[in-house]
Structure 1
């Protein structure tokens, strides 16, 4: 009976060890799954912010392309330089055109737009099946109260298939170009938010558009296969 008792206890201990090992494996799988879901959410939620070399104005609402649509073109609203003592604002608005690659336009997104100037007639499109993946801004940094501040002057868009190239729009020439802000290789730009200073009146300097944020969205599995893209994170330059 004593031997049977020891044998029974030994079996129970072995069962406990086996169950504990199984539980450990299940917990590892569960934690890995949670981590993977978190990383996917982090990738999908990536927002790129322009370098804040100026910071006047308030942010508009984020506007988004319809699900599955990508930004395939851009157009800008510009107040042309007037020279002399005239208050200039230069870039007043950005219009991103959403569409299906190889298909038609689905929506235009602008967020907040300044009151000065007009849209340039040219719509600049990514080539072929390309879509917007990043941007650069030309910004005149804050120069002091006696200078006519213009803040952001122009926009360059970066498109898929052209990692070393960009399309420069027809804004003004003041300031320097920022470093590019680029989505990861498995993402595309799908949303826009702008920071715009409202009109300040006759006696106060106006700057209009100052900064932008863009939303990066994950390419679908079909898109990844079509473009031959592997998931990896580029980071922000």
Structure 2
């Protein structure tokens, strides 16, 4: 009696039975099977002559798919060819196990020998209970779809949708398999290609730390002058010919980032004169390198200027220098003075002009000795230079010994603290756009949430590396930044400004450390365009990402907008 009640319930609600698709290499699998049925129906279930617990789901115009009867109420169901539904053993065994006439329609295998697998005569072992499919409140419209199996664009990859004559059935793959969009069947996870929304997330760039940590070079102990904001450095004197030229300064807010220097070999008849460095130029840029056309230069007097064909660039900033100086060789000898100059970089090796690229340069490598390296202090970068140059007399070679640059000074200036100088403000940060405004079907929209205090690598990676390389590290200054953002935004609320986030009481949990990242999915209804914003507190190159989001939907037909705030 109990079995009959269950059978009646199953017969009335056959679509509630879960069947699972899978592939295989043996005969009787969808790859080699064909559908054989009579009548006009587009969709039919046929028994699998090799396994009573399975059946084939035939769809007109497509290859058949193999299905499995589920495990229900502690019993393993079997396919009943008379009702074409999964049934209890007592009602399915005659036709299934060959004790009946066996005249029902079925699936046969097309092979070279056209053999049909015999029906099994033993009861298969019971599998473990199947997991139920995830439930959602979103209905995929099957009314306009051709009958068949489709990826579940609203759920996980291990689920799929069966459309049968306008009806929608959501099913779940078995045994850890995933629905493959190419074959339209469940496949082993390693072989399956899951459906993914075009341009799907994640859309966040995350780094645990800057690429340019603090350079850590020891500052010079004997600067020419020093105060709290700047320091003047000079090389140890090796030669002392020429006069000091005027100071050359980078524009305000820019710092030296690249160098170029000319070396000269003067020729007159059979006479030659190795001059060494006769001109030097530094490229000046803002932190992050947005300004690319600022430079400072110093030339030896009476020198024809040949321009600056290129610059040898630092990563980060110039924070020191050293000269390759040749000692006084004595009267009647060809003195050189400075043969090269290196810019010491905060986030890379020294920048300088290689010897093999020098004009008229017969030497292989430097001819002098490197002076002691002169370094700026922590938080400083080079902003100016002064050179001691001897004037050039090209027409007096053999009588006058030209040397060019002899000594060098740089100005190191303190770079403003980005953590104390930034201005906090609240803003909406667009993190995801999913346009479904031209479709009559639902759309899944994946996104990553990133909550907490972080550096804005997406827009300011070079600036962050610049500041970090000269000593303004994130870990050492995050507490200062937290306090600044909290106090400034709280004061705005107290002064009557309406903000979208309650910064006055929840900011400690929002400014979490380390930053919390998680993946999520939203669902976009037909004819809607979704724009997803996160409420953040921006402060220069740093951002406080809160757990408050704004979902803005635009109707593709009417243009009307709807705003919904939510927290995660």
Q: Please say whether Structure 1 and Structure 2 have the same fold, judged by a TM-score greater than 0.5.
A: yes
C-alpha contact (below 8 Å) 2:265/2:273 kept by paired residues: no
The 1-side partners of 2:323 and 2:311 are apart by 17
Equivalent runs, 1:85-164 vs 2, <5 Å: 85-100=271-286, 101-114=288-301, 115=303, 118=306, 121-127=309-315, 130-162=316-348
Query: For each residue in 1:6-38, what CA deviation from the matched residue of structure 2 results, as whole angstroms up to 9, or x when unmatched?
Result: xxxxxxxxxxxxxxxxxxxxxxxxxxxxxxxxx
Bigger Cα displacement from structure 2, 111-120 vs 194-203:
111-120
Q: Which runs of 5+ in 2 are unaligned?
A: 1-225, 356-360, 422-463, 474-568
The 2-side partners of 1:108 and 1:158 are apart by 17
The 1-side partners of 2:231 and 2:259 are apart by 21
Q: 1:185 Cα shift?
A: 1.5
Give the 3-state SS of the residue equivalent to 2:385 in structure 1. Answer: strand
Bigger Cα displacement from structure 2, 134-143 vs 99-108:
99-108
Give the 3-state SS of the residue equivalent to 1:54 in structure 2. Answer: coil
C-alpha contact (below 8 Å) 1:78/1:118 kept by paired residues: no
Compare relative contact order (CA 8 Å, sep 6+) and give the higher one, 1 or 2.
Answer: 1
Distance 1:117 1:45, change over 3 A: same
Q: 1:105 Cα shift?
A: 2.2
C-alpha contact (below 8 Å) 1:120/1:170 kept by paired residues: no
Equivalent runs, 1:1-237 vs 2, <5 Å: 42-80=227-265, 85-100=271-286, 101-114=288-301, 115=303, 118=306, 121-127=309-315, 130-162=316-348, 165-171=349-355, 173-200=366-393, 202=396, 203-222=399-418, 226=464, 227-228=467-468, 229=471
Structure (1/2) with the larger helix percentage: 1
C-alpha contact (below 8 Å) 1:50/1:181 kept by paired residues: yes
Bigger Cα displacement from structure 2, 98-107 vs 211-220:
98-107
C-alpha contact (below 8 Å) 1:75/1:120 kept by paired residues: yes
> What is the TM-score normalised by the length of structure 1?
0.70
Give the 3-state SS of the residue equivalent to 2:228 in structure 1. Answer: helix
Bigger Cα displacement from structure 2, 204-213 vs 98-107:
98-107
C-alpha contact (below 8 Å) 2:259/2:352 kept by paired residues: no
Distance 1:112 1:187, change over 3 A: same
The 1-side partners of 2:344 and 2:420 are apart by 18
Bigger Cα displacement from structure 2, 66-75 vs 193-202:
193-202
Q: Which runs of 5+ in 1 are unaligned?
A: 1-40, 232-237
> What is the TM-score normalised by the length of structure 2?
0.31
The 1-side partners of 2:377 and 2:247 are apart by 20
The 2-side partners of 1:77 and 1:118 are apart by 9
Distance 1:116 1:86, change over 3 A: farther
The 2-side partners of 1:143 and 1:223 are apart by 52
C-alpha contact (below 8 Å) 1:78/1:120 kept by paired residues: no
Give the 3-state SS of the residue equivalent to 2:227 in structure 1. Answer: helix
